[in-house]
Amino acid sequence: MLILVTNDDGILSPGLSVLADTLAELGRVVVVAPDRERSAIGHSLTLHAPLRAEQIKKDVFSVSGTPTDCVNLALHGLLDERPDIVVSGINRGGNLGDDITYSGTVAAAMEATLMDVAAFAISLESKTFNAEDFVHAADFAAGLVRQVVEHGLPTDTFLNVNVPAGEVRSVQLTRQGKRNYNEVVEAKLDPRGKKYYWIGGGELGFHNVEGTDFHAIVNQAVSVTPLHLDLTNYRSFDELSSWEIDTLVPGQGDDK
């Protein structure tokens, strides 16, 4: 088995090394990760600057780009064969609810799926570093790799996994939850009296709804959320079909 491992916390992240060491029991592991932290960079791809990949040691590469760059470069330049699966993580901090739209960890799994390679992202919902928690998350990742390789994933689907810190009571299939975004931008003054801003400075809440990833984590359960690439909101078709958008053809009729 060939497993590609990446992350958005950077090549020196302890979660990355624990994950790679654990998955090495299943087969050959190649690590291709950003040379520094790239958290909250989303599905960003570097198009207007060269990428550099430094081989740290055998099957370990540090890339001057984003998690998406790492997966793309690995599949099309660094690997001599396609991997059986891509695993992104272990992220330090959860990627729950709306957070997935920002997450570089999740974006790496998304990129692999775009390239028709099975993938999942895995994060540890913890504010502090605890080696035992990372080991538990890595062990779960290894078990999930076996399941994915054995059964395959549905078309257009990848998995977003979140592991609670401390005791794990169960594993749940969940849906994406919802954040409460309140006061997430803080305005401050620098020593010269000029205003500056910190995004993400406030405390984020969430809707604790049963069946969601947030609810699972609160109840000490591993959350496994299947995501897909098609972002179309099919439920909106009926409502939007009542609009007169067919009258808005540019250059035809009265558009005032």
Q: What's the CA dihedral at 156, 134, 16, 71 to 10 degrees?
A: 0
- Per-residue pLDDT tens over the stretch 179-215: 876 667 788 999 999 999 887 655 566 677 889 999 9
Structure pTM? 0.90
Query: In whole angstroms, what is the distance from residue 237 CA to residue 192 CA?
Result: 53
The CA distance from 185 to 131, in Å, is 32
Handedness of CA 129, 133, 139, 143 (dihedral sign): negative
What percentage of the chain carries pLDDT values higher than 70?
95
pLDDT of residue 254: 58
Q: How do residues 95-120 score in pLDDT, each as one tens digit?
A: 999 889 999 999 999 999 999 999 99
| pLDDT tens digits, one per residue of 214-234 | 999 999 999 999 999 999 999
Residue 133, judged by CB atoms within 10 A of its CB (0-12, 13-18, 19+), counts as buried
Give mean pLDDT, residues 109-136: 93
Please report, as a single letter, which amino acid is at residue 148: V
Under a CB-based contact definition with an 8 Å cutoff, are residues 203 and 179 in contact? no
Per-residue pLDDT of 48-85, as tens digits, reads 999 999 999 999 999 999 999 999 999 998 999 999 99
Question: Which numeric CATH code is attached to 2-178+208-247?
Answer: 3.40.1210.10
